[in-house]
Amino acid sequence: MLALRDVTVRFGARAAVDAVSLDVADHEVVCVLGPSGSGKSTLLRVVAGLQPVTAGRVLLDGADQSGVPVHRRGVGLMFQDHQLFPQRDVAGNVAFGLRMRGVARVERAARVAELLDLVGLPGAGRRAVAALSGGEQQRVALARALAPRPRLLMLDEPLGQLDRGLRERLVVELRQLFGRLGTTVLAVTHDQGEAFALADRVVVMRDGRVAQSGTPLEVWQRPASEFVARFLGFDNVVPGTVTGRAADTVWGRIPVPAGSAQGAARVLVRPAGVRLGDPAGGLWCTVEARTFRGQSVAVRLRPESGPALEAACALREAPEEGAVVGATFAADEVVVLG
Ligand SMILES: Nc1ncnc2c1ncn2[C@@H]1O[C@H](COP(=O)(O)OP(=O)(O)OP(=O)(O)O)[C@@H](O)[C@H]1O
């Protein structure tokens, strides 16, 4: 469906997008994820035709899009601040793209009603946009983007403005909706939770380049680099030397999974793989802080050597602040990073 081939966008000397190649298959939901300034929005703007490329090609269904204007690309756009027309009612907003395409009034009305049902706002056509909640406005913006049946729907921080609870609910709804409609989606977000909940595949960007691409599970289980690991919130990373099934690090010998790359590397231990027991039986650590995270407790440890270490413990097993414990490591939660 969508193919980017070595796409580069420069602003002055700086490449906001640097030789990016990316494919999105029919019906696939791809989320581009990365810190602020990594080039996500620029990438979307390129696909939409809002931003010319410095080099490289954008293909939609095999056709090169250079010179094709925004309204002829057949892509739908939904931006962070959803840019609804305040002077129009809900139906007027949803019908916008249809009117632009000259769809007849009766057909338009039917499609608007269908879309409002789809996004969970049945019968809301006559309501004023200004009187809607943030979540409702988001749904209207989604209905407007979907109304002309775009071959590719692009979302820029689709749930960016909403509070966390609402975002978590909407992201589940969106995923179900896209699955049902078979929509092909390219979304960008800086929120990893959102990306992982929404996407069939996530693409992590860093400084205009693709740092990793894979299913949410693949990226979560095997971050390709220290950058990706830290971006996902994994901070238990130390340098080490891998020999056979263990790595020598400042935290002592850490078992690693079979097949891990050998030699000097960065070693990640996911918090779930840090086991706490008797001080004599492992790396000697003092408990610095505990943070409740729903089902588990994040325990921040100060080891006798090396940087701080985080462990995830069951509620009842979390040691008290100030306690001294021995940390050991479970190989299946250890990743030797590239
Ligand atoms: N029109 C422009 N002129 C000059 N520089 C730009 C322009 N648009 C973007 N940039 C720069 O390109 C880089 C990438 O910007 P972009 O908005 O694509 O990043 P992003 O990952 O979407 O960030 P955010 O999450 O903050 O929106 C940034 O350094 C930005 O300052």
Q: Is the CB of 16 under 6 A from ligand 1?
A: yes
Would you say the CB of residue 38 lies under 6 angstroms from ligand 1?
yes
Q: Is 34 in the pocket of ligand 1 (CB under 6 A)?
A: yes
Q: Which residue owns the Cα nearest ligand 1 atom 2?
A: 11
| Rounded CA separation 209/15 (Å) | 9
Report whether residue 190 contacts ligand 1, using a CB cutoff of 6 Å.
yes
Query: What local confidence, expressed as pLDDT, does residue 81 receive?
Result: 65
pLDDT at 80 over 80: no
**Hey, whose CA ends up nearest to atom 17 of ligand 1?**
41
The number of the ligand 1 atom at minimal distance from the alpha carbon of 45 is 18
Long-range contact list for 192-199, CB < 8 A, 24+ apart?
Answer: 192/33, 192/231, 192/232, 192/233, 193/168, 194/31, 194/158, 194/159, 194/167, 195/31, 195/32, 195/33, 196/31, 196/220, 197/168, 197/171, 197/172, 198/29, 198/31, 198/171, 198/174, 199/29, 199/30, 199/31
- Chain CA centroid to CA 125, Å: 32
Are 119 and 176 contacting, i.e. CB atoms less than 8 angstroms apart? no
Q: How far is the CA of 11 from the centre of ligand 1 (A)?
A: 9
pLDDT over 80 (residue 166): no
pLDDT tens-digit map of 15-29: 999 999 999 999 999
Residue 121: phi and psi, rounded to 5, are -130, 55
Rounded average pLDDT over 142-167: 85
Output the six-digit token pair for 291: 């943070």
| Ligand 1 mean position, distance from CA 41 (Å) | 7
pLDDT in tens, 167-195: 888 888 889 989 988 999 999 998 888 89
Task: Give bridge partners of residue 32 from the DSSP assignment.
Answer: 188, 203
Helix (H, G, I), strand (E, B) or coil at 304: coil
Dist CA 89 CA 104 (whole Å): 19
Any ligand 1 atom below 6 A from CB of 42:
yes
| Cα 15 to ligand 1 centroid, rounded to whole Å | 10
Instruction: Report pLDDT for 110.
Output: 93
Distance (Å, rounded) from C-alpha 83 to C-alpha 88?
12
Look at 10-19, 166-175, 292-301 and tell me which has the smallest mean pLDDT: 166-175
Alpha carbons 97 and 103: distance in angstroms, whole number: 9
Confidence of residue 293 (pLDDT cuts 50, 70, 90): confident
Residue 224, both tokens: 């390709």
The pair of structure tokens assigned to 235 is: 């901070």
Of 1-15, 148-162, 215-229, 234-248, give the lowest mean pLDDT range. Answer: 148-162
For the chain, give the mean pLDDT: 92
